[in-house]
Structure 1
């Protein structure tokens, strides 16, 4: 099975794909998920402007062919990334997601807005404010101190710093989205049939 997005679809079991297909087609019979349906699909309502911008950016990164829809293969690729991808691949995706203006770097404002949006969506309590977290990230990985993170800085420096990598993956993880799909995919009796 071909996969233009490069996600490790082969790591997903046939049972998982079957369950995800049923969920996808139940929620989106047309086979093409719009941004509005994407938000409904994951129960994302009454979002702040920042959280809404983050969800729109996420939708755009999952829409690999940029046709304004997420089809089933893009959906599987996204879930594969969230659930199965190695750290380096997730960090590359995070970088593209956080680079809101698409200029090839992440500035403090972009990172701060993303952190605030993710925290609003996740609803988790944190020991540090979004501003403190953003400052810590820049202090640790903005090697040339230019106020912007290049993809190279982001990938190299985050992977070198176990504490920062752990904090980033915990704070910025998208498992809550995958959890919605997994918890709603099939009743237990149907899962056993796979």
Structure 2
């Protein structure tokens, strides 16, 4: 039995039936066993996006491509699904941080946050805040040393200690609804 991120038999594991479902879908979409970016978009039903949304999907793909070989294999794919659907909040926050840190320098600046939030709005539709307002709120609340950059520690500690910000980030950036629609076999309309 394949155990993903958890103890054998725990409620948080993806069960064998779910793994079989995802494996069938994965192999149908990419018989080679390696998912390229184009196939990733197809699996998620995210083709024909505008430039901002497309950039976001590419960043998601890159964060899931753990070995950086340009492909997502089934283990990377199932680990990503498990994280998005069942991951603990600190695991998700680390993943969000990695996603937002577009240049990979270990910090998030306002420009990166505005860019990723703009892209997410292009996929998810209207949000309650503009990308600029969202970035300002995040930095005002959690940029402890006011240097205009968020470290991983600042980000995780700041978001975990502010329930409103945690809810806002989780709601805005969570892919679980997309994945749950796919898992149930219905197409997600953008």
Question: TM-score, normalization: structure 2?
Answer: 0.89
1:141-190 deviation line (CA, Å, top 9, x unaligned): 001111111101000010000110011101111123312421228xxxxx
CA RMSD in angstroms comes to: 1.8
Structure 1 residue runs of 5 or longer lacking an equivalent are 186-194
Distance 1:75 1:82 in 2: 11
| Distance in 2, Cα, partners of 1:45 & 1:75 | 18
CA drift at 1:80: 0.4
For the pair 1:73 / 2:75, whether they are aligned, the reply is: yes
> Given the alignment of the two structures, is residue 103 of structure 1 paired with residue 98 of structure 2, yes or no?
no
Partner of 1:192: none
Q: Looking at both structures, which has the greater relative contact order when contacts are Cα pairs under 8 Å and sequence separation is at least 6?
A: 1
Task: Give 3-state SS (helix, strand or coil) of 2:129's partner.
Answer: coil
Q: 2:61 aligns with which of 59, 62, 69?
A: 59
Instruction: Spell out, residue by residue over 1:29-78, the C-alpha distance to the aligned partner (whole angstroms, 9 max, x if none).
Output: 11110001111211212222222221111111111111111111111000
2:137 corresponds in structure 1 to 136
Q: How many pairs does the alignment contain?
A: 182
Q: State the match for 1:160 in structure 2.
A: 161
Residues 3-50 of structure 1 deviation map (CA, whole Å, 9 limit, x = unaligned)? 8xx844851111110111111111111111000111121121222222
Q: Which residue of 1 aligns with 2:42?
A: 40
1:184 is paired with a residue of what secondary structure?
A: coil
Structure 2 CA distance, aligned partners of 1:27 and 1:116?
29
Distance 2:181 2:167 in 1: 23
Query: What stretches of structure 2 of length at least 5 have no aligned partner?
Result: none
SS of residue paired to 2:184: helix
Shift of 1:105: 0.2
* C-alpha separation in 1, matches of 2:2 and 2:25: 22
Output the TM-score relative to the length of structure 1: 0.88
